[in-house]
Structures are given as structure tokens and as C-alpha cells.
Chains A and B, each alone.
Chain A
Amino acid sequence: MAFLEMRGIVKRYPGVLANDRIDLSVEAGEIHAVMGENGAGKSTLMGILYGLVQPDEGGSVIDGRPRRFRSPIEAITAGLGMVHQAFKLFDSLTVWENVAYRAEPRRGPFIDRAAARRRVAELAQRHGLPVDPDARVGSLPVGVKQRIEILKALYRDARILILDEPTAVLTPGERDGLFRVMRSLAADGRTILFVTHKLHEVMAVTDRITVLRDGRVADRMITAETDPPAIIRAMTGRNVSLKVDRTPAQPGRPLLEVEGLTLNAPGKPAVDAVSFAVRAGEIVGIAGVAGNGQTELVEIVAGLRAADAGTVRVDGRDVTAAGVAGRRAAGIAYVPEDRAHTGTALRASAADNLSMGFQRRAPLSRRGVLDPAAMRERARGLIARFGIRIPGEGTAVGTLSGGNLQKVVVARELDHEAPVLIAEQPTRGVDVGAIEFIHARLVAERDKGRAVLLVSAELGEILALSDRVLVMYEGRIIADVPGHEASESGLGLLMAGVTGAAA
């Protein structure tokens, strides 16, 4: 029996089976990769292991003993440690304060600061994680912050360490440093679970791989005996083929032009000198695993965030200095990634939600006075046209399923009939029927001569819809592939950062 085993893990969320009888087996002292696309079930599985989430069925066995953790602190006490993708650090406290939090060496009521500093320094030294114990965490670059998260786990003598997408925000140099640490920890007898989508990293540092797809284990491999294409095949496999019938694109003039957009961030830029254009009558898809700068890029183009450098032009007009209202007036419609907190007001009715952005012009308003009957009628029309399943236009949208809520957002934004449409993760968390519907509408927009910018982490979606595919990785556009040349394996490799490799 392996050191760490997860047996028969089942986890259901409303509308989706996140983990479908997953078995995981990891030896002590092993670096084990847990791979899969977004939504494959990796985060849920690790959340269950770490006590953040409770499984519906199944459990973990560690060193022969069955274990169920009801909270992370229980997992920590049992020897687990997790480095989250979004760090859980106290920015205003020092490094040693963060590491020793709730496990402080004490002298009566006082913290033995010298002892704490010393222990942290020793730990850092021993494991090759150089840090300054007295530095304020908020001022540190991302790579160092990650070291602190690892130190937190080691300080509590974690024998099993879970790293969730640890290299997303690291520079190549910091990444090599992390790999060195991982190898030394493994040599020390600790077990490392490395959750990632990045192929070359998995090839470089892991011993074995478990690939998840659609909530199930797709394949188990030994790293030394496999290769990137095999892994990609396991990760993407034969998905539900989202074929959308469409005629070849006949693109016209550029309606959206982005040049040199840069957004600085501690470490490396979140958006790194991005330039591209979207022409009338084409769908440009930006492929990439979430967290590579797409969210920030879209926020900048939509006017919700200011860039540090670069310009945005809509139909030739420079809108770089304009805010949201100016961009919308210039002709940008935007389906945001976060439909619940940005794209809608959950407590408001469907009519209210569908009217946002239209409330200042006819037929909804005249001279500052709204026409509620017109609002309701328009809402009813949109509900019918988009097949939104809702009791009535006066019902609050917070009760809607993901797919229906997304339809509300899409209906509203499409009704703007704007020359440029940005759709960000438009079908995340949406049921299949709604997915097909939304895809058909996006193609229809394109056929009407609009410029559609599609940002998605779903490879299938990108392939089904895009006339051109840009791949975003670590803040940069690393490829521009015509639609008919794009393939799952080719894009998969690019999304994983492997450039210039044969498909």
C-alpha cells in the first residue's frame, strides 16, 4: 500500500460531478503530478485531501491510517501542508510572524522573537529557501512569498506538501529554484503533490503523474516512460465535440486594435507588451490556462482597469483614456468572467439587469424618465429570444442557474449590437444546452460583421469558434495560429508553454 492513498473520492456540486470515484496513490518521497485542464477536478480533490472540502464518498489513507479532516488545521496537525495558488499571507506582518503564526515559540505571554527568527532562518537555510525573517511580507516579490508559504508548511513539519499551480507567477529563475527545493524535500522523505497544467515542468521534476479529466482519472503514468503528447491526449481526450457549423470568415477592417499593453506587477508583468487586432467579421480566440494575464488584459480593454503602457483603439478611435462609459459609447460590449459579482446584480430583477447600459436612451427612457413598461417588454423579448428559463422578468436573477444567468448577461450585451464584443469565459459553469446556444449567438454576431474577442480556458470552445487563435502564456501572446491550423495537441502544448515543438 502506498504512503498516501485517496480511495473512491466522490464530490457533487449542484449541476456537476466534480470528482467521480477518483483513486490516487502516492509513495513517500515521491514528487507526484496531478494534472488536468480547468474544471477537471484537481482543486476539488486537493481541497478534500486538505480538509477544505468534505467528500460525499470515499476518504484518504495516510501511512496506513484512514483519515478524514474536517478543517485545514486538522490536516496540518496530521502533517499535511498546502501552498495555495492565491497566497494566504498577512501582508502587514513580517516573514517570521507569518511562518510562526499560531505556533509561536513563547516565554509566558510573550513571543520569543529571537527563537522564532532563529528557527525560521534555520529552516530557510536547511531547505534552500532564502528569506529575510524580518522583512514585511507585503513588500516581497511573489517568488519569495511562495517560499514563505512553503516554510509555513515545513515549520509545522509537513510530511505531505501540496503545491497548487505554484509556478503560475514565477519567473524562470524562480521556477528552477522551486524545483531544487522540491527535489531536496523529496530526498528528505517528504511527499510532494504538484498540481499543474504545465507540461515541461512536469517532465522536468516529477516521478509519476495522475491525469484527471472531467472528474475522473484519465490515466496514470510514470514520467520517465511518457512524453508530452501522451499527456496532452490524456488531458484533452475525446471531449464532447462542440462542433459549430460556420462558414469561413470574411474579415474586414480592424475594429479593435491593441498595442503594447502592459500591466506591471511585483515580479514579472501581468500583461507584457500585448499587441493584436480583431477585425470585423472574425472571432479571435485567446487560449490559455486561467492566470496567465487574460483577466487583466480584458479588464484593460473594457476600461475597468488602467494599463501602465499601451493603447486601445476601437474602429480607429483611441479610447485609451476613456473610462467604461466612454468605451461602451465607442462600441465595446463586454461579457465578463464573473457573472455574479460584475455582470449582474443578483438581488435585482431580470428586467433591471437587462436594462443596465440602456437606461439613458430611448426606448427605455426619455429625458431622464424611464418607461417601465418598455423595460419589461424589452426584457420579455430578450428572455424569449434567448430562451432564459425564468418565471418572469420581475424575478430576481440570483435564483437562476449558471447557464441561465449567463444567458442574461449575454442577452444584454448582444443587444447593444456593439461593433466589438468581448466574451470572457462565456460558458464556464454552464450546462451543455446553454453552451451550444451561446456559441451559436457568438458566431451569429461574427456573421453580422462584428469583431468578437473570445477569451477562454476551454480548448474545445476556442477550437470550435475561433477564426484565429492567440495563445497567452505568462502575460505574453506567444502564438497566432489560423483557425484551420489549430489543433488540440498543438494548442495544448502552446498553452503549457511549449513553443516550437512539433505537435
Chain B
Amino acid sequence: MNAAIGAVRGAATSSVLWAILGGLVVGALITLAAGHDPVAVYGEILAGAVVGPNLAETVARAVPLVGMTLVAAIPLRGGMVNLGGDGQLVLGGMVAALVALYLPAPGAVRLAAAILAAMAVSGAYAALAAWGEVKFGVPLLISTLLLSYPAKGVTSYLARFPLRDPSTGMPETFRVEEAARLPVLVPGTPITWGLVLLLLVIAAVVFTDRRGTAGYELRLRGLNPRFTAYGGVDLGRQTVRVLFASGAVAGLVGAILVLGDQFRFTDGALLSPAYTWSGLMAALLAMGEPVGAVCAGLFFAALQTGGFAMERATEVPRVLTLVLQAVIILLLAMRHGLRRR
């Protein structure tokens, strides 16, 4: 009984819940101002997220979104910010496409190699930014973000010119053949084996965070870096390793999208659903704690899927869901600050 009361009290004072509530209120006001009925709109979002075939859609969308949430959450747990998810994502996607298309090996081998290569390259790219901070003092916040532009530029160029499939009218590579694709997991839905891969990653992240030495050191660094250094942890090495893991997850997401959903690398297709930024906001909502981040990611995935349905039904632009997410984060930042007083 006491535990239940404690849980309710915890929830009642929880900054996160207040921020979400506040966000929903602001969203309702915006909807009203745009001349629509908030209750109907929110109803459409809810239905659009979980009713019937929409649920499978939400789950399918949750795979890349929760993946990108982890990309941000892993370093955030240690107090570090990775803003380069976009670049790491497209790099992984392109590498996966290239390996799946051009590696001379049987299909399944190509698939596995593509995924591993994507993770390795994206991980190394993120670690590059970390090295920039450790060696040259370039703030991680800035270096990760700036590096995403060359990554986007190069992959965009490759898809539009040398590696382009001339038969389609789009800036994209050739189609990856069946044998090297990620098979569907639940027939009749867009859910692929990517979900299984993501679940494995979630399990690995949560396990490391709760039970791993590295997880302990990272979490303590997030709480007090001076204490962690005093305790003998090499902060520089930790930074590079953590960013590598973060980038590797982004690479995995890119591979899952290219090999399980789009079957080719199309310029801009990986970035337009804004997985990176929704993921970042979900990670901020949970302040890097993995289980909370996954839940927040699921919540935002539902919001986004629901948003599509909402737009079809009410003509309210679905980008409202992104606005909602941003408002929630802003309110949370203020609430946290007030509590610290």
C-alpha cells in the first residue's frame, strides 16, 4: 500500500508528467487558435496511434525513433550531448546500402556484413567528434553537429550521382535485392526483424547501464565528473567509447531503415521523419536514463503516427506533434531549474 502511495505521490510531483500535461495544454491552445477542436484532434491522435492497423504502424515507426532516442540517451547518461545523429544515421544507411549492393557474397552474409559495417562506420564517425573534444577541446555539442553536414553532403552526392540508379527518377541508389533485405517479422505489417535487432540493443543498453561496469562509470560521470576522475576513470577514453556506441546505434538504425523498409538509399528519406530530433527530445525527457528514454521514445512514436492520422482526419498539420514535443522539453527544462532552487 505504501509503495503504491509513494508511486502516486512520485508521479504527482514528477516534473516529466507536469511537463507533458503542460505541453498538451499548450498544444490544445495552439489547436484552438488554428480553429480546430482540441478534444477531437487529440482523439484522432490517440486513435491514429493504437487503433487497428495503426498499432503496427506505431511499432514500426518506434523502431527507428527509439533507436535514435538511444543514440542521444547513451551519452546523455554521462552528461554528454550528441547532436550529430542525422549524419551518423545517413552514413550508416549509405554504408549498409553499399555493402548490401556490392559485396560479392551470398545474401544473408551481405545482410549481416551491411549491418555490422554500418554500425562500425557510424560509430567511428561519432568517435571522431569525441576525439575532437579530447584532443583539441572542440566542444562535443558543436563537433557532432557540424560533422553531420559533411556526412549528409557526401551521402547525398553519392546517391545523386556516381551511385545513382538511372532507371528511377529519384536521387537514390539501386534497389537492394530480396536476399539481402531484412525479412518481415509480422506478416501484413511493416514490422521487420529490425524490431528484434532493436530489442537486442535495448537489452544491451539497459543491461550495461544497470549491471555493467561501464554503465556505472558513465552514470557516475553524469552525476559528478570530478568525482569519477578522482576515482580513477579516464574521462577522455570514456568519451570516445561512449560516442562510438552512440554512433553505432545510429548506424544500426540507418541499416534497418535501408534494408528493411526502403530497400535503397534515397537522399533525404532517412531524415525527413525527424527521428533524430524526436529521439533527442525523448532522451532529454528521460535525462538519459535508458528505460525512461525507451518509454519516452515509444510515446513520441505514438504521437507521430497518430499525427499522420490526425492530419488525414482533421487537416491539422501533423507537424503539430513535433511542436508538442518541443514544448514539453522546454517546460521540463524550466521545471527542473525551478526544482533546483
Q: Return the chain B residue nearest A364 by Cβ.
A: B213
Inside 8 A of A360's CB, which chain B residues have their CB? 213
Inside 8 A of A346's CB, which chain B residues have their CB? 223-224
Task: Tell me the A315-370 residues at the B interface (CB within 8 Å).
Answer: 323-325, 328-329, 334, 336, 341-348, 352, 355-357, 359-360, 365, 368-370
Stretch at the interface among B38-46, B87-95, B119-127, B228-236: B228-236
Contact A370 B213 (CB under 8 A): yes
Task: Tell me the A217-260 residues at the B interface (CB within 8 Å).
Answer: none
Inside 8 A of A348's CB, which chain B residues have their CB? 219-220, 223-224
A17 contacts the other chain (CB 8 A): no
Contact B230 A370 (CB under 8 A): no
Give the residue of A304, A329, A355, A372 whose beta carbon is less than 8 angstroms from that of B230: A304
Interface string of B191-231 (1 = CB under 8 A from A): 00000000000000000001111111101100110111111
Q: With A and B bound together, what is the CA distance between A347 and B289 in angstroms?
A: 14
Give the residue of B211, B223, B224, B227 whose beta carbon is less than 8 angstroms from that of A369: B211
| Least Cβ–Cβ distance between A458 and chain B, in angstroms | 23
Q: Return the chain B residue nearest A334 by Cβ.
A: B230
Inside 8 A of B220's CB, which chain A residues have their CB? 345, 348, 352, 356
Contact A369 B213 (CB under 8 A): yes
Contact B227 A324 (CB under 8 A): no
Contact B216 A342 (CB under 8 A): no
Contact B211 A372 (CB under 8 A): yes
Inside 8 A of B233's CB, which chain A residues have their CB? 325
Q: With A and B bound together, what is the CA distance between A329 and B234 in angstroms?
A: 14
Q: Return the chain A residue nearest B227 by Cβ.
A: A345
Task: Tell me the A428-447 residues at the B interface (CB within 8 Å).
Answer: none
State whether A359 and B217 are in contact (beta carbons under 8 Å apart), knowing that A346-B224, A368-B212, A372-B210 are contacts in the complex.
yes
Q: Return the chain A residue nearest B234 by Cβ.
A: A325
Contact A357 B234 (CB under 8 A): no
Q: With A and B bound together, what is the CA distance between A281 and B216 in angstroms?
A: 35
Give the residue of A328, A343, A344, A355 whose beta carbon is less than 8 angstroms from that of B216: A355
State whether A343 and B223 are in contact (beta carbons under 8 Å apart), knowing that A368-B212, A369-B211, A369-B212 are contacts in the complex.
no
Contact A324 B232 (CB under 8 A): yes
| Least Cβ–Cβ distance between B38 and chain A, in angstroms | 38
Inside 8 A of A345's CB, which chain B residues have their CB? 220, 223-224, 227-228
Interface string of B1-20 (1 = CB under 8 A from A): 00000000000000000000
Q: With A and B bound together, what is the CA distance between A372 and B215 in angstroms?
A: 12
Inside 8 A of A325's CB, which chain B residues have their CB? 232-234
Q: Return the chain B residue nearest A352 by Cβ.
A: B220
Chain A residue total in the interface (Cβ 8 A): 27
Contact B229 A324 (CB under 8 A): yes
Interface string of A281-319 (1 = CB under 8 A from B): 000000000000000000000001000000000000000
Q: With A and B bound together, what is the CA distance between A324 and B224 in angstroms?
A: 16
Q: Return the chain B residue nearest A365 by Cβ.
A: B213
Give the residue of B210, B214, B228 whose beta carbon is less than 8 angstroms from that of A356: B228
Contact B227 A344 (CB under 8 A): yes
Q: With A and B bound together, what is the CA distance between A372 and B211 in angstroms?
A: 7
Give the residue of B213, B227, B229, B230 whose beta carbon is less than 8 angstroms from that of A359: B213
Contact B227 A357 (CB under 8 A): no
Q: Chain B, interface size: which category?
A: 20 to 34
Inside 8 A of A328's CB, which chain B residues have their CB? 232
Inside 8 A of B229's CB, which chain A residues have their CB? 304, 324
Contact B234 A370 (CB under 8 A): no
State whether A357 and B231 are in contact (beta carbons under 8 Å apart), knowing that A347-B223, A352-B220 are contacts in the complex.
yes
Q: With A and B bound together, what is the CA distance between A323 and B227 in angstroms?
A: 14
Q: With A and B bound together, what is the CA distance between A424 and B331 in angstroms?
A: 43
Q: With A and B bound together, what is the CA distance between A345 and B219 in angstroms?
A: 10
| Least Cβ–Cβ distance between B209 and chain A, in angstroms | 10
Q: With A and B bound together, what is the CA distance between A272 and B281 in angstroms?
A: 52
| Least Cβ–Cβ distance between A352 and chain B, in angstroms | 6
| Least Cβ–Cβ distance between B30 and chain A, in angstroms | 36
| Least Cβ–Cβ distance between A356 and chain B, in angstroms | 4
Inside 8 A of A369's CB, which chain B residues have their CB? 211-213
Contact B214 A341 (CB under 8 A): no
Inside 8 A of A357's CB, which chain B residues have their CB? 231-232
Contact A368 B227 (CB under 8 A): no
Task: Tell me the A369-404 residues at the B interface (CB within 8 Å).
Answer: 369-370, 372
Q: With A and B bound together, what is the CA distance between A348 and B229 in angstroms?
A: 15
Inside 8 A of A304's CB, which chain B residues have their CB? 229-230
Contact A341 B224 (CB under 8 A): yes
Contact A370 B212 (CB under 8 A): yes
Q: With A and B bound together, what is the CA distance between A347 and B223 in angstroms?
A: 7
Q: With A and B bound together, what is the CA distance between A346 and B224 in angstroms?
A: 8
State whether A368 and B228 are in contact (beta carbons under 8 Å apart), knowing that A347-B223, A348-B220, A352-B220 are contacts in the complex.
no
Q: With A and B bound together, what is the CA distance between A334 and B229 in angstroms?
A: 13
Inside 8 A of B230's CB, which chain A residues have their CB? 304, 324, 334, 336, 342-343
| Least Cβ–Cβ distance between A346 and chain B, in angstroms | 7
Contact B234 A323 (CB under 8 A): yes
Interface string of B152-187 (1 = CB under 8 A from A): 000000000000000000000000000000000000
Q: With A and B bound together, what is the CA distance between A324 and B291 in angstroms?
A: 33
Inside 8 A of B219's CB, which chain A residues have their CB? 348, 352
Q: Return the chain B residue nearest A357 by Cβ.
A: B231
Inside 8 A of B234's CB, which chain A residues have their CB? 323, 325
Q: Return the chain A residue nearest B214 by Cβ.
A: A368
Q: Which of A304, A356, A360, A372 has the largest number of chain B CB atoms within 10 A? A: A356
Contact A359 B216 (CB under 8 A): yes
Inside 8 A of B211's CB, which chain A residues have their CB? 369-370, 372
Inside 8 A of B212's CB, which chain A residues have their CB? 368-370
Contact B227 A343 (CB under 8 A): yes
Inside 8 A of B228's CB, which chain A residues have their CB? 345, 356
Inside 8 A of A334's CB, which chain B residues have their CB? 230
Inside 8 A of A344's CB, which chain B residues have their CB? 224, 227
Q: Return the chain B residue nearest A396 by Cβ.
A: B223
Q: Return the chain A residue nearest B230 by Cβ.
A: A342
Q: Return the chain B residue nearest A344 by Cβ.
A: B227
Sample 12 A-B pairs with CB under 8 A, ordered by A number.
A324-B230, A342-B226, A342-B227, A343-B230, A344-B227, A346-B223, A347-B223, A348-B223, A356-B220, A356-B231, A357-B232, A365-B213
| Beyond known contacts A348-B219, A359-B213: 14 more, CB 8 A cutoff | A323-B234, A324-B231, A324-B232, A336-B230, A344-B224, A345-B227, A347-B223, A348-B220, A348-B223, A360-B213, A368-B212, A368-B213, A370-B212, A372-B211
* A binding-site residues for B, Cβ under 8 Å: 304, 323-325, 328-329, 334, 336, 341-348, 352, 355-357, 359-360, 365, 368-370, 372
9 nearest A-B residue pairs (beta carbon): A345-B224, A325-B232, A356-B231, A345-B223, A345-B227, A357-B231, A365-B213, A328-B232, A324-B232
